[in-house]
Amino acid sequence: MNYHILTLFPDMVLNGLHTSIIGRAAEKGILSIEAIDIRDYSKDKHRHVDDAPYGGGAGMVMQPGPVCDSYEALCARLGKRPRVLYMTPQGRVFNQKIAEELAKEEDLVFLCGHYEGIDERALDRIVTDFLSIGDYVLTGGELPAMVMIDCISRLVPGVLNNEESAQTESFCDNLLEYPQYTRPEYYEGMRVPEVLLSGHHKNIEAWRRQQSLLRTWQRRPDLLKEAQLTKKDLEFLKALEEEKQGKNP
Which residues are CB-contacts of 40 (< 8 A; sequence separation ≥ 6)? 70
User: Could you tell me how many residues make up the chain?
Assistant: 249
Q: Does the footprint of ligand ADE cover residue 141 (CB under 6 A)?
A: yes
The angle subtended at Cα 6 by Cα 86 and Cα 47, nearest 5°, is 125
Count of residues that interact with ligand ADE, criterion CB under 6 A? 11
Rounded CA-CA distance 37/87 in Å is 16
Q: Binder to ligand ADE among 87, 126, 152, 176 (CB under 6 A)?
A: 87
Q: Does the footprint of ligand ADE cover residue 237 (CB under 6 A)?
A: no
Distance of alpha carbon 107 from the chain centroid: 16
Q: Does the footprint of ligand ADE cover residue 88 (CB under 6 A)?
A: yes
Which residues are CB-contacts of 249 (< 8 A; sequence separation ≥ 6)? none
Does residue 3 sit in helix, strand or coil? strand
Does residue 157 sit in helix, strand or coil? coil
Q: Binder to ligand ADE among 33, 144, 153, 216 (CB under 6 A)?
A: 144
Q: Stretches 30-38, 40-48, 126-134, 176-184: which one binds ligand ADE (CB under 6 A)? A: 126-134
Q: Binder to ligand ADE among 29, 56, 79, 136 (CB under 6 A)?
A: 136
Q: From 70, 2, 72, 67, select the one nearest 32 (Cα to Cα).
A: 2
Closer to ligand ADE at the Cβ: 16 or 144?
144
Q: Does the footprint of ligand ADE cover residue 132 (CB under 6 A)?
A: yes
- DSSP letter for 197, please: G
* Kind plus residue range of the DSSP H or E element containing 145: helix 142-153
Closer to ligand ADE at the Cβ: 61 or 213?
61
Q: Does the footprint of ligand ADE cover residue 152 (CB under 6 A)?
A: no
Q: Does the footprint of ligand ADE cover residue 90 (CB under 6 A)?
A: no
- DSSP letter for 90, please: E
Q: Stretches 86-94, 95-103, 149-157, 240-248: which one binds ligand ADE (CB under 6 A)? A: 86-94
Q: Does the footprint of ligand ADE cover residue 117 (CB under 6 A)?
A: no
Q: Binder to ligand ADE among 58, 137, 166, 190 (CB under 6 A)?
A: 137
Q: Binder to ligand ADE among 31, 133, 175, 237 (CB under 6 A)?
A: 133
Question: What is the nearest approach in angstroms of ligand ADE to the Cβ of residue 88?
Answer: 5
Q: Does the footprint of ligand ADE cover residue 7 (CB under 6 A)?
A: no
**Which residues sit opposite 190 in a β-bridge?**
187
> Using CA of residue 188, residue 190, residue 191, residue 192, what is the dihedral sign?
negative
By CB under 6 A, name the binding residues for ligand ADE: 87-89, 132-134, 136-138, 141, 144
